[in-house]
Structure 1
Amino acid sequence: MQTQTSPSTSLGEGPLAGLRIIDLTLAMAGPLSTQRLADMGADVIKIEAPGRPDFTRNSPMGDVLLGGETTPYLTLNRNKKSLAVDLKTQAGREVLYRLVETADAIVQNFRPGVAERLGISYTHLKPLKDDIVYVSISGYGDSGPMVERPGQDLLVQSFSGLTWNAGVAGGLPHPSPVYMIDVMASHLASEGVLAGILQRDRLGRGSEVKVSLLGAALEVQIQEISTYLTTGRECPRNNVPYASNWMEPPYGIYPTADGHIAIAQSSLAAVAKVLGADELARLAGEKPQDPDDREGINAWRDRIYPVVAERLATWRTDDAVRAFFEAGVWSGPVNDYAAVKAHPQFEGFFVTYDHPRAGAITTTAPSIRFSTAPEPQITGAPALGEHTGEILASLGYGPDDIRHLQATGAVA
């Protein structure tokens, strides 16, 4: 685990050094996208309203507060600067307009129509900087009957069909317990920023880039949903808890004598040989041959899981993983966070740094590494408006101007 005791105040050595990104986002998809760019050296300026900041500042996870800070805010906004500006005021918008003239890209995830009403849409900002890259993250795209609906991870998972891909027949749909769609959308937004900047550098023009949580949710399911859309083939859920309706058994998680084991795409015959399960070896050859016989195929699948589970129940997880590995069967342990923390494989995947208000923070290290750049230093997530004065001064505002903006509530 990497430890940094003196956070850097400059990230000028990363591969994106010299780029300025305006961050008009909240929640997870947008902030994670811009944090990724900041981790790579971009100058990311997070803009929040003085009285209405990013709600992750006030949304603790697991009721945890560290020095008054929430872990969601701390872990999604490192390496950024904070500018507190009320964009509902003309003076606040003027600050943004000046900032746009210095920026390479903007990322926003306002509800549909909000940016237009505030006068900060791509149409409004393009005349200020013709080559600006303007990335919008929406819930469901910018047209259609769902446009005004809340674009939240669980809701989009459910709407997109994803939750029917696992679980037990007759049971509830099976959502991801983590914000996987937000994370996927954050990658799409980061890619949009970088592709837009490459296009600008090649062709000399900016662009408006649009991504959505719904698009991310469908991309996650590209294999399954394409199979259905092309052929009409459905794979109903089983009476046993496989990890996917679509994957051949024994794809799933099984209890062991001391925990659980995950088995991925594997030969049933190879699994049967390791487990000494003659019945499983026979079942491997009894799959109905008609691919349209979904009832028969599901009945066959239902017979496999309990045989594998019964045999694995007497094995220690490490022993089973080792035996499977030697036989060419893909498997692995099912870890909880305590096991993750203790396992040597995770060395280098976490970083600990000192935050001025929250203290020592351990979080995921930047996932993208460059041989030509040193390990990025971590600057803790900023206090609301921590860099307002510094940024305003760099835009040409004098001390009297700044005091006036503060007095009127346009900035904080």
Structure 2
Amino acid sequence: MKHLPLNGITVLEFSQYLSGPSAGLRLADFGARVIKVERPEQGDAGRKLAIKNLWIDDNSLLFHTINRNKQSITADLKNEEGIAVIHQLIKRADVITHNFRPGVMEKYGLDFNSVKQINPSIIYATISGYGNEGPWKDLPGQDLLLQAISGLTYTTGNLEDAPVPFGLSIADYICGAQMVQGIIAALIRRQKAKQPALIELSLLESILDFQFELLTTFYANKKQPKRSAVSNGNPLLAPPYGIYKTGDGYIAIAMTNLDVLASAIDCLAILQYKQEHAFVERDAIKDILTAHLITHATMYWLEKLHDHKIWAMNVLDWRQLRTQDGYKQLGMEQRIDLGNGKHFITTRCPIKINGAYLQSPVKAPALGEQNELIQNECSGQQHTIKSMA
């Protein structure tokens, strides 16, 4: 797609693992030139973070997934030569991102105030685990730990279950997306006011913001929202909201009035409960629904529910999902060619601009793959850092 919205924007990504690199991935999808600044020999620690022990050459499949469409330069920040190259890059850059613990970039003279002396219009975006101050600032900012300490694990699963984490790195991805929001907002302001910006996020703040509905109810009545004991879907919502086993699988049913539901699925037993008492009696109602819905197959119930305009869907695993016409219509998959006949399939950017999806099938860079190119640019052989096509 020509004329991507961030063409001409250069991002220096000091970030590693997931949160910062996921922000860089989206910026690259939007057309920015994202240059990973990595340690010699080791590089981004995410290169060795393998999921299910899946590797592509010397790097993890996860690294390739989250770092496609970027460039890589290695620089030793402990010596003058490495810092000199970084300073030259900073002069030409628009954005810097990092997700190191507080104090790391200061140690190398690459904190916001120092960088601002080199490039007065820089957008400087950071992610920490728990903020830059306070008793938790030096704790490890790892996704599962953030889910645990933030209360999120008490929103999933049923009442008698142990705390249940999300099955993905939700804090990392939410925080990365919010970093992109902050960067784009700052770029717009810089276009109008020519001002730099320091954008600071933490995984903890992002995961708390993610729970704003639940936390607002807690702030109001000082009571922790309780998970329902049966088919919990959301601790704030009345039945039937949840997932139920059917005769051949599972079905998800969203919000609807009990009388409408009773008519749709011929379950008069739930009418002994009044709608205004549904939340208080949710487990008793869900017990009735559980026993009723197991008697027929999922599609049998879906037809009845949809006939009554009730929001319901069958529950699919990924193998089943890929066979569905609705999924195929989206074209969510894109192929990343790695050379030497190798490739893998990943998801594309979900955003459509001017009728076109943002496809960016360029592979992740090898460690230091653009060293010579970028060093030549910094030495003056090329006077501008051109955006990637």
Range class of TM-score, shorter chain? over 0.9
Whichever residue aligns with residue 387 of structure 1, its letter is Q
In structure 2, the gaps of 5 or more residues are 382-389
Whether contact under 8 Å (1:81, 1:386) holds in the other structure is: yes
1:260 and 1:373 map into 2 onto residues whose CA distance is 35
Ranges of 4+ aligned residues in structure 1 off by more than 3 Å: 372-377
| 1:12-411 pair list within 5 angstroms | 13-285=3-275, 287=277, 298=280, 300-347=281-328, 348-356=331-339, 359-371=342-354, 375-396=358-379
Following TM superposition, by how much is the alpha carbon of 1:285 offset from its aligned partner in structure 2, in angstroms?
4.3
Whether contact under 8 Å (1:13, 1:374) holds in the other structure is: no
Deviations along 1:307-343, whole A, 9 cap, x unmatched? Answer: 1111111222223223212212111111111012222
Q: Secondary structure at the match of 2:190?
A: helix
Following TM superposition, by how much is the alpha carbon of 1:365 offset from its aligned partner in structure 2, in angstroms?
0.7
Whichever residue aligns with residue 368 of structure 2, its letter is G
2:59 and 2:341 map into 1 onto residues whose CA distance is 6
If the length of structure 2 is used for normalisation, what is the TM-score?
A: 0.92
Following TM superposition, by how much is the alpha carbon of 1:375 offset from its aligned partner in structure 2, in angstroms?
4.3
1:178 and 1:87 map into 2 onto residues whose CA distance is 33
Following TM superposition, by how much is the alpha carbon of 1:123 offset from its aligned partner in structure 2, in angstroms?
1.2
1:113 and 1:93 map into 2 onto residues whose CA distance is 17
Whichever residue aligns with residue 248 of structure 1, its letter is A
The percentage of counterpart residues that share the same residue type is: 30
Whether contact under 8 Å (2:349, 2:357) holds in the other structure is: no
Whether contact under 8 Å (2:218, 2:225) holds in the other structure is: no
1:205 and 1:372 map into 2 onto residues whose CA distance is 33
Following TM superposition, by how much is the alpha carbon of 1:176 offset from its aligned partner in structure 2, in angstroms?
0.6
2:354 and 2:321 map into 1 onto residues whose CA distance is 26
Whichever residue aligns with residue 317 of structure 1, its letter is T
Following TM superposition, by how much is the alpha carbon of 1:346 offset from its aligned partner in structure 2, in angstroms?
2.1
Following TM superposition, by how much is the alpha carbon of 1:240 offset from its aligned partner in structure 2, in angstroms?
2.1
In structure 1, the gaps of 5 or more residues are 1-10, 289-296, 399-412
1:357 and 1:216 map into 2 onto residues whose CA distance is 40
Q: Secondary structure at the match of 2:101?
A: coil
What is the CA RMSD across the aligned residues, in angstroms?
A: 1.9
2:241 and 2:78 map into 1 onto residues whose CA distance is 53
Whether contact under 8 Å (2:30, 2:358) holds in the other structure is: no
Q: Secondary structure at the match of 2:316?
A: coil
Whether contact under 8 Å (1:251, 1:264) holds in the other structure is: yes
Deviations along 1:13-46, whole A, 9 cap, x unmatched? Answer: 3111000011110111111101101011101101
Q: Secondary structure at the match of 2:164?
A: coil
Q: Which moved more, 1:355-364 or 1:208-217?
A: 355-364
Deviations along 1:44-74, whole A, 9 cap, x unmatched? Answer: 1011101332122112111112333322101
Q: Secondary structure at the match of 2:11?
A: strand
Whether contact under 8 Å (1:67, 1:358) holds in the other structure is: no
1:225 and 1:191 map into 2 onto residues whose CA distance is 22
How many residues align structurally?
379
Q: Which moved more, 1:130-139 or 1:388-397?
A: 388-397
Following TM superposition, by how much is the alpha carbon of 1:159 offset from its aligned partner in structure 2, in angstroms?
0.9
Evaluate the alpha carbon distance shift between residue 192 and residue 61 of structure 1 in structure 2; reply closer, same or farther with a 3 A threshold.
Answer: same
1:48 and 1:357 map into 2 onto residues whose CA distance is 25
2:319 and 2:135 map into 1 onto residues whose CA distance is 44
Whichever residue aligns with residue 121 of structure 1, its letter is D
1:410 aligns with none
Deviations along 1:369-390, whole A, 9 cap, x unmatched? Answer: 1117674341100100111110
2:208 and 2:351 map into 1 onto residues whose CA distance is 24
Deviations along 1:70-114, whole A, 9 cap, x unmatched? Answer: 221011001100111111222111111100000111111011110
Whether contact under 8 Å (1:15, 1:373) holds in the other structure is: no
Q: Secondary structure at the match of 1:137?
A: strand
Of structures 1 and 2, the one with the larger relative CO (CA 8 A, separation 6+) is: 1
Following TM superposition, by how much is the alpha carbon of 1:357 offset from its aligned partner in structure 2, in angstroms?
6.0
Whether contact under 8 Å (1:39, 1:376) holds in the other structure is: yes
If the length of structure 1 is used for normalisation, what is the TM-score?
A: 0.87
1:83 and 1:215 map into 2 onto residues whose CA distance is 31
2:285 and 2:110 map into 1 onto residues whose CA distance is 58
1:284 and 1:331 map into 2 onto residues whose CA distance is 22
